[in-house]
Amino acid sequence: MNCQQYEELMMKHFDRIASDNEITVLKKHLEKCSQCRYQFEQLESIIGSLEKDFEPEIPAEFEANVMIKIDRYENTKNSSQIKTNSILAVMMGLILFIPPAFIIIDFENISIYEILMGFFPSLSFFSDILLVVLSVIKLMGGYISGNNELSSMMQYVGPAIIFITVFISISMFIHKVDNNL
Amino acid sequence: MESTDIEIINQCINGDPEAFTMIVTRYKKLIYSVVINMVQDIHEVDDAAQEAFLKIYKSLDQFNPEYKFSTWAVKITTNLCIDRMKRKQPKFVHLDEVKELQSNSDSPESLLIKKEKRRSINNALQALPEKYKIPLILFHQSGLSYEEMADVMNEPMTIVKNRLHRARLMLRERLQVDRKE
Ligand SMILES: [Zn+2]
């Protein structure tokens, strides 16, 4: 075995996985080879100091301080969630139900295409507003930054609604032009 | 009977944040061992450790019970410390700021030598690139196994092992250079 291989044995020793036999073999070499012995002693001293001298002084009020932060987080989470939820509910109501109200008033004279053309853009409008609101909350570092599931879901839902809306609107528009021709 | 980690986590998720105190008590020493070595400014250690627990709390619903809780918590903590370090200029720890266990048997002189040694090791440790520094901290100070380190660092065990071995030699080399200067 050469010194390089003994160095690997040393590492195994510091990994605490060397067998008794391996340790005996290593010690025998260290008696003969001053270079390896020097390295071993240095490593042992450094690692020993890393492992033994470490005993962190943790303040007695540490748990209490963590819990204060958690309480604060829970409070802001709840209040901003309630606020956002009620704003979203009102907006949803306005945006989703105003166009249908107009349609119902003039129901007999409106074609199915016009109804759908009114419905999908309003959905798209709603989703745009939702995205704006969410991005503002995100920029302000609000609760959504910690709520990964919701924010990652909205990343897909918003654009998906816009895409579907644009697609349906265009195909209906083409269909309508075709019918008129 | 003492609750398991999973029982406590479920309690927290189901609306009892106070239960998290038990988690903090159980893991504060581990989290501190990581933070104290990764955050250079000793005055920030307590704050960073609190922040780590807050982040752990916020992510509880993402914890996968197939993993060990301690490993997952260390992973969150190391990522947080890396983020913090990126925002800061490196700064060396001062002699009088190094906290360590002061056992009664130590004479003032031997304590001073110990502190001095510990300080130079700490400086050398801080100067190492992150990928070598982290395994040294996790293995020799936080007491993680190779499997746990591989989970924390998202690297195969063989790579983690090689890096730790390399890191020990690098640390020794740096300390030798320091002595010659
Ligand atoms: Zn040798």
- Tens-place pLDDT, residues A124-136: 666 677 777 777 7
Q: Do A74 and B17 touch (CB under 8 A)?
A: yes
A43 — contact with chain B (CB < 8 Å)? Answer: yes
Q: What pLDDT is stored for residue A89 in this prediction?
A: 72
Q: What pLDDT is stored for residue B95 in this prediction?
A: 42
Q: B8 and B87 in one domain?
A: yes
Each residue's pLDDT tens digit, B7-62: 999 999 888 999 999 999 999 999 998 998 888 787 889 999 999 999 999 999 99
Residue B168, in any domain of the structure: yes
CATH number, position B139: 1.10.10.10
Q: Do B161 and A50 touch (CB under 8 A)?
A: no
Q: A38 and A127 in one domain?
A: no
CB B5 within 8 A of CB B23: yes
User: What is the rounded CA–CA span in Å between residue A169 and residue A7?
Assistant: 72
Rounded average pLDDT over A138-148: 53
Q: Which amino acid is at A124?
A: S
Each residue's pLDDT tens digit, A6-58: 999 999 999 999 999 999 999 999 999 999 999 999 999 899 888 876 677 88
Q: How many domains does chain B have?
A: 2
Q: B144 and B121 in one domain?
A: yes
pLDDT above 70: percentage of residues in chain A? 64
Distance from CA of A68 to the nearest CA of B (A): 10
Residue A127, in any domain of the structure: yes
Q: What is the whole-number distance in angstroms between the Cα of residue A1 and the centre of ligand 1?
A: 9
Q: B181 and B120 in one domain?
A: yes
Q: B83 and B7 in one domain?
A: yes
Q: What pLDDT is stored for residue A130 in this prediction?
A: 73
Q: DSSP for B90-113?
A: --PPPGGG------TT--HHHHHH
Q: How confident is the model at residue A153 (pLDDT cuts 50, 70, 90)?
A: low
Q: What pLDDT is stored for residue B100 in this prediction?
A: 43
Q: B113 and B166 in one domain?
A: yes
Query: Worst-scoring range by mean pLDDT, B51-65, B83-97, B134-148?
Result: B83-97
CB B90 within 8 A of CB B40: yes
Q: Do A67 and B175 touch (CB under 8 A)?
A: no
Q: What is the whole-number distance in angstroms between the Cα of residue A33 and the centre of ligand 1?
A: 5
Contacts of B146 in chain A (CB under 8 A): 15
Q: DSSP for B11-36?
A: HHHTT-GGGHHHHHHHHHHHHHHHHH
B53 — contact with chain A (CB < 8 Å)? Answer: yes
Q: The whole model's pTM is what?
A: 0.64
A35 — contact with chain B (CB < 8 Å)? Answer: no
Q: Do A53 and B58 touch (CB under 8 A)?
A: no
Q: B1 and B88 in one domain?
A: yes
How many pairs of residues across A and B have Cβ atoms under 8 Å apart? 91
Q: A172 and A116 in one domain?
A: yes
Q: Which of B67, B93, B119 is the last residue of a domain?
A: B93
Q: Give the range of the structural domain holding residue B42, as residue numbers without chain letter.
A: 1-93
Q: Give the range of the structural domain holding residue A41, as residue numbers without chain letter.
A: 3-52
Residue B101, in any domain of the structure: no
Contacts of B46 in chain A (CB under 8 A): 59, 62, 65
Q: What pLDDT is stored for residue A38 in this prediction?
A: 92
Q: What pLDDT is stored for residue B101 in this prediction?
A: 41
In this predicted structure, the answer to whether residue B93 has a pLDDT above a threshold of 70 is no
Q: How confident is the model at residue B86 (pLDDT cuts 50, 70, 90)?
A: confident
Residue B100, in any domain of the structure: no
Each residue's pLDDT tens digit, B16-26: 999 999 999 99
> Would the CA dihedral through B119, B123, B128, B129 be positive or negative?
positive
Question: Which residue is associated with the tokens 């109804």?
Answer: A115
Q: What pLDDT is stored for residue A98 in this prediction?
A: 66
Rounded average pLDDT over A105-114: 71
Residue A111, in any domain of the structure: yes
Residue A11, in any domain of the structure: yes
Q: Which of B44, B61, B93 is the last residue of a domain?
A: B93
Rounded average pLDDT over B131-152: 92
Rounded average pLDDT over A150-159: 62
Q: What pLDDT is stored for residue B99 in this prediction?
A: 44
Q: What pLDDT is stored for residue A180 in this prediction?
A: 62
In this predicted structure, the answer to whether residue A113 has a pLDDT above a threshold of 50 is yes
CB A103 within 8 A of CB A83: no
| ipTM, 2 dp | 0.77
Q: What pLDDT is stored for residue B60 in this prediction?
A: 93
- Calculate the average pLDDT of chain A: 77
Q: A91 and A46 in one domain?
A: no
CATH number, position B19: 1.10.1740.10
Q: What pLDDT is stored for residue A9 in this prediction?
A: 93
Residue B42, in any domain of the structure: yes
Q: A87 and A24 in one domain?
A: no
Q: B87 and B34 in one domain?
A: yes
User: What is the rounded CA–CA span in Å between residue B105 and residue B110?
Assistant: 10
DSSP collapsed to 3 states, chain A: CCHHHHHHHHHHHHCCCCCHHHHHHHHHHHHHCHHHHHHHHHHHHHHHHHHHCCCCCCCCCHHHHHHHHHHHHHHHHHHHHHHHHHHHHHHHHHHHHHHHHHHHHCHHHCCHHHHHHHHHHHHHHHHHHHHHHHHHHHHCCCHHHCCHHHHHHHHHHHHHHHHHHHHHHHHHHHHHHHHHC
B165 — contact with chain A (CB < 8 Å)? Answer: yes
Q: A150 and A107 in one domain?
A: yes
Q: A87 and A169 in one domain?
A: yes
* CA nearest to B27, candidates B74, B95, B96: B74
Q: What is the whole-number distance in angstroms between the Cα of residue A32 and the centre of ligand 1?
A: 8
Q: A98 and A31 in one domain?
A: no
Each residue's pLDDT tens digit, A63-73: 999 999 999 99
Q: What is the whole-number distance in angstroms between the Cα of residue A14 and the centre of ligand 1?
A: 17
Q: B69 and B6 in one domain?
A: yes
Q: Which of A37, A52, A67 is the last residue of a domain?
A: A52
Q: A159 and A93 in one domain?
A: yes
In this predicted structure, the answer to whether residue B104 has a pLDDT above a threshold of 50 is no
Q: How many domains does chain A have?
A: 2
Rounded average pLDDT over A80-109: 70
Q: A89 and A168 in one domain?
A: yes
Q: Do A66 and B172 touch (CB under 8 A)?
A: no
Q: What pLDDT is stored for residue B115 in this prediction?
A: 76
The three-class DSSP label of residue B74 is helix
Contacts of B101 in chain A (CB under 8 A): 53-55
Q: What is the whole-number distance in angstroms between the Cα of residue A41 and the centre of ligand 1?
A: 13
Q: What is the whole-number distance in angstroms between the Cα of residue B145 and the centre of ligand 1?
A: 28
Q: What pLDDT is stored for residue A96 in this prediction?
A: 63
A44 — contact with chain B (CB < 8 Å)? Answer: no
* CA nearest to A65, candidates B69, B98, B100, B25: B25
Q: Do A58 and B62 touch (CB under 8 A)?
A: no
Selection from B48-52, B108-112, B127-131 with the highest mean pLDDT: B48-52
Which residue did the predictor score with more confidence, A26 or A92? A26
Residue A72, in any domain of the structure: no
Q: Which of B36, B62, B93 is the last residue of a domain?
A: B93
